[in-house]
Amino acid sequence: MGRSTIPSALSELSNPSTPEAQVAALQKLKNEIVGHGQRKELAVTHGVVKPLAGLLRAEARRGGKRRRNVTNGHGSGHASETRRGVEQWTTEDELRFQATLVVGSLANGGPAFVAPLLAGHVLPPLLEALRPSETPAKLVTTTLKTLNQIVDAIAQEKPWLGMSESSSRSSLAFAVNESIYTRLVIESLAEILAQSAGTIKVNQQIESVVCLIMKTCRDEYQKKMLVDAGMLDLLADKLAAVAAADDSIPTTEARRSNREPFPRGCLSELLETISAIIKDSHFYTARFLYSQSIQQLFGWPKERSTATLEGSNTSQASSWDKLIPRVHTMASKSDPYIKQWPALGAYPSVTADSYSRLPSMESLQQTSGRSVITDESETPLFIWLMYVARRSEGRERLSACWLLALLKKFGERWPLNDPSKTTRERHFSYLIIPLVEKMIEESSPTSEQTKRASTLSPSARDEMRFVLERSPIVLAELVAGNKSLQTAAVHARTLPTLIQTLKKSFDIPATSSKPLWQPRSSSHEVKDPTLDPASSTLGRAGLSPDLLHAFKYRESILLALAAIAGDQDSLRKMVIEMGAATHIIEALVPYSESNEQSNASSVREGNPDSVLIAACKVTRSLSRSVSVLRTSLIDHGVAQPVFELSTHPNVKVQIAATEVITNLVLDVSPMRTEILESGVLATLCEQCRSANFDLRFGSLWALKHLCLGLPHSMKIQCLDELGVGWLVQVLNGEPSKPAMGTPNAVGEQVDILNAVDEPHMDVDDEPSSEEDDDAMTESIPSMRRHQRPGSRYTSATNIRDRLQQIKNDEQDNRLNGERDDIRIQEQALDFIRNFVSEDKASGEMIDHLLKTFGHSRFFELLDAKIRPKNPSLSNPSSQTQASSNTPSYWPSNTHRTPFSSSTTPVTQPNWAAYPSTELILATVYILVHLANGRPAHRSLLISQTTLMQHILPLFTHPRRDIRVACAWMLHNLVWVEDHTDEAATRERAISLRQLGFEEGARVLGRDMDLDVKQRAVVSIEQFDKLLNGGLSRSGFASPSGFGGGDGGVGGLSSMGGRLGGLHGWRHDSRG
């Protein structure tokens, strides 16, 4: 019955008679296809896309031209403001409107329908229609809705299409994102967003833009584009507008005027969008935090009070505090609050007028408790977000928690005015984590609420899905790397719920929805040959929403488990005991394209890449526990699937798998042999040549672990496969690599790498002048756009400096390149160190290494890592000492003890000119191991005069680790192997004395650090014994000198191994 109208509508569209007839045809078509998948299919296969696109294109061109003419005719700028309202709604507009609706309805059919739409070039005219100056408002709103529908549809695309780089480029998502994220489109979106909210139409437009960004913003280039277009500032404005309503201060007239009524309803989307932009970028987070509107409303107390000096009262700074219950950092036992802990939420603040009904109790507690409690408040923005999280529910609550988690992460890296770590931890563990846990429990498929979900409306069901997909990730982000928060997250029922839900995620059948019934068997009609095949053929069907949902929450639960199990063995054991291992292994199985045709009925057949990565992360977290490694992980056979993933086509999966392998190939791992047999050595060596830095880095790290304790033959094989040439290349760094220390603006030598460790901004600087303000807004173009007259912060310069600092740290390619270079060099040095370290100290490996590298080349390489980078640039006072041209660092004939005066700055070498500390440390440890070889190796090392001269200054290095390593090296160098070696050792001791090392040992002997001191004392005794016959001082040298030494022999050789081993385990501390 209904079928007949589609062809007639189509024929009208392809052979238009009058615009009115076309409108009618489109309306008919729309009513036909809405809600009917089969008719949509029919429409597309009959070639509806081409005429639709043509219509949209023609109208967009005509409409744009017409309106431009109108604007020109008016001639005056302000006319464009009022014009839109009175603009007539023409038949052409109606035509576009209906066509846009039809496109949206087609897109609702899923990714299969988006493919022909894209092929028919429907997107460009739609995006053109976004310009609010050229398009009627109603059409803009509809276009935005249609775009959202398209984006929703492509979200159902099969995730494994994006397996490799090449295929991800052919994905629909890529194509759509590429068209949306162009300068013009983003500018139009920003223009829409910049409208002042108020009327329903504008609010709808703003909401649609916010949703569109929220759904599409994933990649770095997108974020950059949005931030450059001023989008982040606009979003911050909107957020501040919402927050201003909660500000309990009676607002002054000036403030009220620039706050616009904004729909509270889309607060969640707003928070989500901001989070999407600032995620994974400290710089963008800082841009958000320091955006004008956020600063104005939430300005840190200090700035705020100065800012409000002109007008209103002084108690403003603390007004936000009233929004959340007080959480006291320290409470004494006698404190009455202790009993109140469970009722935290019921404790409102004293002075708020709205609570005046309950005055007495408040003031009582106030006086009794105050004195013993450190009452540190959170920053106002955090307080408000916590308040939002506590006040609202569902999506909005979760979004607030998510933004809080991201901001907390930023605060850990770039602290400023943040409360102490304990205060923040308490706030999060008492106010936020319980909320997230509750959401996890309530949204889990086993909970009461979810069982009723089928009766809910679609939007409520969506919200429940969103909560389930997102809440575990929020938990993960909150507790990552923080032991006390991890513990706080675990004490409730969260862990069992998470694991149960993980299990559930595997029980969802892939094709949960049955196909539509067809009245007639679909006879394949002969297609009209004149139709464009690309735009009249359906694309690949997407996944069922249920399945996508399962994938998403599976991934986020795995990430939550990874974060919880990240740092504590007890929690790792708990995760295992609750039976997570089976499901984790199940999540390590990749989806393979081949079994799609045969039978796509079960989810058990595989996981998309994102789930694989998450599964690798949780495996890595768990494998940090030796006992878990030795029991359940091996029981479940984790090695094989992980190893298979290391050859996955997606490089991100490869990296994640390699990071797991790093822990699995450790000496202590029982899986080492199994994984070695499957050929991990060759794979890792091959990956070291990958174009991707992270993969190279991870693989070298894994090789470093693998190398430790390997039989000699395999070590040699490993070195051969890796190639000496490659190692040398890595150690030399990039040929054009500039020096680590670079002159800053003033011409001073600045060690950028070390400087970033102290990012504290000096907020006490003098207030900036007006020019500074201008300069700042100029340097950040988008800020200029939204500057309001009369508003500026006193610390604008500070903020600019800080933003610049954060930006450099994150986005400067050269800086990041250098940092990466150092990281991989460190791994290369550690690899060499583990290569030469042996249990038996036979020295064979050292011999092999020296042979393959060549003595001189090898020592030159090491020397380059411990000498000042560029002697000519270092300051004059240190030049004389640090320069390699000085024949003897400490002339042995003088009695001057340079180290005694080392407290004076004159003799301190310029450490900024040195390579990074990590490299020095790694190099010195190689020397420790070389000195632990055969006596001949010690002589060889001592004979490298230049190298040895460069080591000496390191004895005063500010980092204790380096001094400890130096002490160990010296200790090893003067060690007497046996009687036969005594004479040779004496000679070595004499050479060392000539090089100034005896003095050096004395300096170390006076070291503050016990480790250094004890090691040095043994060396001093040894020097004494060897050079002075050990007689004169024998009284002083305690008998334990020999005894301790004897013990030391055993301890010494094991020291090498242990050090290497310890170093290997460093992977533990990595996030």
Residue ranges in contact with other proteins by CB under 8 A? 1-3, 27, 30-31, 34-38, 101, 104-105, 108, 145, 149, 199-200, 203-204, 207, 263, 265-266, 457-459, 513-519
> Which residue number, 261 or 637, has a Cβ lying nearer to other proteins?
261
Phi, psi of 135 (to 5 degrees): -115, 140
Alpha carbon distance 964, 363 (integer Å): 57
CA pair distance 432, 438, nearest whole angstrom: 10
Report which of 657, 742, 747, 639 is spatially closest to residue 695, judged by C-alpha positions: 657
**Residue 63 Cβ vs other proteins, minimum distance, rounded to whole Å:** 21
Tokens of 245: 């309503």
Closest to other proteins by CB, 60 vs 102, is: 102
Query: Helix (H, G, I), strand (E, B), or coil: what is residue 540?
Result: coil
The nearer residue to other proteins, 461 or 959, going by C-beta atoms, is 461
Q: How many Cβ atoms are within 10 Å of 413's Cβ, its own excluded?
A: 14
Q: Closest CB to other proteins among 2 and 7? A: 2
**Phi, psi (degrees; rounded to nearest 5) at 763:** -85, -5
As a whole number of angstroms, the distance between CA 671 and CA 248 comes to 61
Compare residues 3 and 68 and give the one whose CB is closer to other proteins.
3
Whole-number minimum distance, CB 557 to other proteins, in Å?
Answer: 27
- Cβ nearer to other proteins, comparing 24 with 739: 24
What six digits make up the tokens of 739? 């020096």
Q: In the complex, what is the shortest distance from the CB of residue 110 to other proteins, in angstroms, rounded to a whole number? A: 11
> Up-side HSE of residue 225: CA atoms within 13 Å toward CB?
21
Asked if residue 952 lies in contact with residue 997, where contact means CB atoms within 8 angstroms, the answer is yes
The helix/strand/coil state of 1071 is coil
Q: Is 573 exposed, middle or buried (0-12, 13-18, 19+ CB in 10 A)?
A: middle
Is the Cβ of residue 37 or residue 124 nearer to other proteins in the bound state?
37
**458 vs 1050, beta carbon nearer other proteins:** 458
* CB closer to other proteins out of 34 and 373: 34
Comparison of 203 and 678: residue with beta carbon closer to other proteins: 203
CB of 474 to other proteins, least distance (A): 24
Buried b (16+ CB within 10 A) or exposed e, 884-893: eeeeebbeee
By beta-carbon proximity to other proteins, the closer residue of 47 and 109 is: 109
3-state SS assignment for residue 750? strand
**In the numeric block, which tokens belong to residue 420?**
């102490």
Which residue reads 């600063």 in tokens? 295
**CB closer to other proteins out of 115 and 266:** 266
**Nearest residue (CB) to other proteins, 31 versus 602:** 31
Q: Closer to other proteins at the Cβ: 34 or 626?
A: 34
> Do 703 and 718 meet the contact criterion of CB atoms below 8 Å apart?
yes
Least spacing, CB of residue 90 vs other proteins, in Å = 17
The enclosing H or E element of 749 equals: strand 749-751
**Residues whose CB is less than 8 angstroms from the CB of residue 376 and which lie 6 or more positions away in sequence, other chains included:** 329, 419, 420, 423
Least distance between other proteins and beta carbon 452 (Å): 15
Residue 38 or 1053 with smaller CB distance to other proteins: 38
> Which residues contact residue 982 at a Cβ distance below 8 angstroms, ignoring those fewer than 6 apart?
976, 1026
Contacts of 745 (CB under 8 A, 6+ apart): none
Instruction: Please answer whether residues 20 and 92 qualify as being in contact, where contact means their C-beta atoms are separated by less than 8 angstroms.
Output: no
For 977-1020, the DSSP string reads: -SGGGHHHHHHHHHHHHHHTHHHHHHHHHT-SSHHHHHHHHHHH
CA dist., res. 573 & res. 568, Å (int): 9
The distance of closest approach from Cβ of residue 34 to other proteins in the complex, given in angstroms and rounded to an integer, is 5
Give a three-class secondary structure readout of 832-863: HHHHHCCCCCCCHHHHHHHHHHCHHHHHHHHH
Residue 852 structure tokens:
């393959």
Closest CB to other proteins among residues 17, 459: 459
Share in percent of the chain as helix, strand, coil (round to 5): 70, 0, 30
| 898 vs 1003: CA distance, rounded Å | 9
Strands of 573-627 (E only): list them: none
Measured from the CB of residue 604, what is the shortest distance to other proteins in angstroms? 23
Q: Where are the beta strands (DSSP E) in 828-967?
A: none
Least Cβ distance, residue 2 to other proteins (angstroms): 5
Give CA–CA dist 386/379, Å, rounded: 11
Nearer to other proteins, 182 or 512 (CB): 512
Radius of gyration of the chain (CA): 34
Q: Closest distance between other proteins and the C-beta of residue 540, in Å? A: 20
Nearest to 1002 by CA among 887, 928, 898: 898
Give the separation between CA 314 and CA 307, rounded to whole angstroms. Answer: 10
State the Cα–Cα distance between residues 657 and 642, nearest whole angstrom: 6
Q: Cα dihedral sign for 428, 434, 438, 444?
A: positive
- Cβ 1002 vs Cβ 899: under 8 Å: yes
Residue 827 near residue 704, CB atoms below 8 Å: yes
Identify which of 373, 376, 378 has the alpha carbon closest to the alpha carbon of residue 390: 378
Nearest CB to other proteins, comparing residues 245 and 906 = 245
Q: How far is the CB of 200 from other proteins (least distance, A)?
A: 6
